[in-house]
Amino acid sequence: MVKQQNRHTVILILVAGIASYLDAALLVSAGVALPLWTKAFQLNPLMVGAISTALTVAVACGSFGGGWLADRFGRVTIFNIDILFVAIGALVIALAQNITWLFVGIIIAGLASGADLPTSLAVISERVSKKDYGKAISATQLFWTAGILISQFVGFLTASMATKAPQIIFGWIAVVAIVDWAVRVFSGRFKQIEDQLVQKGDPNDHNVEQPKVSVRQLLKSKQYLVTIVALTGFYLFWNLPANTWGSFVNYFLVVSAHRTQSFATLIALIANVACFAVNVWYIRVSDSKHRYHIMYVGLVAALTVFIFAGIYSDVWLVFTVAYVIYSTTTVLCGEPLYKIWSQSFYPSNARASLTGFSYGIVRILTAGFSLITPTLMGYSPQLLMWVLAGCVVIYGGCAIFITQLIKRYQISDPTSESK
């Protein structure tokens, strides 16, 4: 019986985790296709920036609204609708013959992808025991990394195909989304697994008879207000350095450090593969007593690499090694923890709303920081590294504070129960 339940949980994570894959795939694929669209549609710099900004803002707005819709009209219902519109949006992008249709596709796909992420986490969390939150929710991070790696690989394979490349890149995303939608909607076996798991999950998460509560009502409670501020602060200041290095490593190595494009691409690939491998290992220990010991290792590693990168900002080799080490260890003290905590602190009938609210804020502020990053990097790479080191100090402080909140509010935490 236990083995069967574990197998059912794996199937649920595979189907729901595609939301994380598609979120990463859309963002990375847009970056890969951007120079191709620039040439095909003869875009000026303003329009190039508008495309990137439109996708980021659409994802953020989707997070804001999607979580609320999921808690109001049913997580499984919105869960199924979201993925269909990701497929539609990706298909519109793939077939776009002008800039207008390109924007239409980007907005549709971005809104749906942003809405699906907090919804999928809530669907998973209410169907697994709290002692398995770490394993189940951390597994979704594998899909995020896979989205990056596969998108980079597809982009590499289609690099010589000019205008056909975006059609293939986003056509693939549409296929993945439509297959996942078909499983979610038409598979009787999957529906049966969903129903069985929700019955075997934590009894407190069975929200059939729980009254609907709004985000505004919850934020009047000191406990939830303090929690959402702490979690959002943690995720924001973790996301700023993570997004900066993930988005601008090629820019720094090629433009500032004068390395080749192939070298920068290789370094990014090595870092992502290492990150994926560490994530696989992290799933095994995420619910053990070592979760927070490992978190401190990740925090120390992040602070150390940014300090060294700040001191030796003009030495490309130091920056390269620091980037690989950071990418490998950041999973130990970053987004997986945020996802686990967001599903542990919030009531089940408001998880999607509160998580989506937090995601939306972070996405918008991160997009704003990205606008000034190239200018800051051009002015002083050293200053940028010290700013990112400061971010580590802040999100490290938030992480320590959150571990204290777990004790203060007596949040169920298998890491303390297993000691």
pLDDT band at 175 (very low <50, low <70, confident <90, very high): very high
Sign of CA dihedral 327, 392, 253, 363: positive
Greater confidence, 208 or 371? 371
Q: What is the pTM of this model?
A: 0.84
Greater confidence, 312 or 397? 397
Q: Are 339 and 402 in contact (CB under 8 A)?
A: no
pLDDT surpasses 50 at 116: yes
pLDDT band at 208 (very low <50, low <70, confident <90, very high): very low
Cα–Cα distance for residue pair 335/15, rounded to 1 Å: 20
SS3 120: helix
Residues 43-65: what's their mean pLDDT? 84
Least confident of 256-270, 309-323, 373-387, 403-417: 256-270
Greater confidence, 214 or 362? 362
pLDDT tens digits, one per residue of 281-313: 998 888 888 999 999 999 999 999 999 988 987
Tell me, what's the pLDDT at 201?
55
pLDDT surpasses 70 at 196: yes
Greater confidence, 261 or 227? 227
Q: Give, as one character, the DSSP assignment of residue 409.
A: T
Tell me, what's the pLDDT at 400?
97
Least confident of 64-73, 94-103, 332-341: 64-73
Alpha helices in 286-334 (DSSP H): 291-311, 316-329
Cα–Cα distance for residue pair 307/326, rounded to 1 Å: 12
pLDDT surpasses 90 at 393: yes
Highest-scoring range by mean pLDDT, 10-19, 48-57, 143-152, 397-406: 397-406
Tell me, what's the pLDDT at 293?
94
Cα–Cα distance for residue pair 171/374, rounded to 1 Å: 31
Mean pLDDT taken over the chain: 85
DSSP character string of 103-142? HHHHHHHHHHHHHHHHHHHHHHHTTS-GGGHHHHHHHHHH
Please state, in angstroms and as integers, the Cα–Cα distance from residue 325 to each residue in 191, 259, 290, 309, following that order: 41, 19, 20, 11
> At CA 133, angle to CA 129 and CA 135, rounded to 5?
115
pLDDT surpasses 60 at 318: yes
Sign of CA dihedral 402, 292, 237, 355: negative
Greater confidence, 210 or 97? 97
Q: Sketch out the chain's domains with CATH numbers.
A: 1-200 (1.20.1250.20), 210-419 (1.20.1250.20)
pLDDT tens digits, one per residue of 319-361: 889 989 999 999 999 999 999 998 889 887 888 889 999 999 9
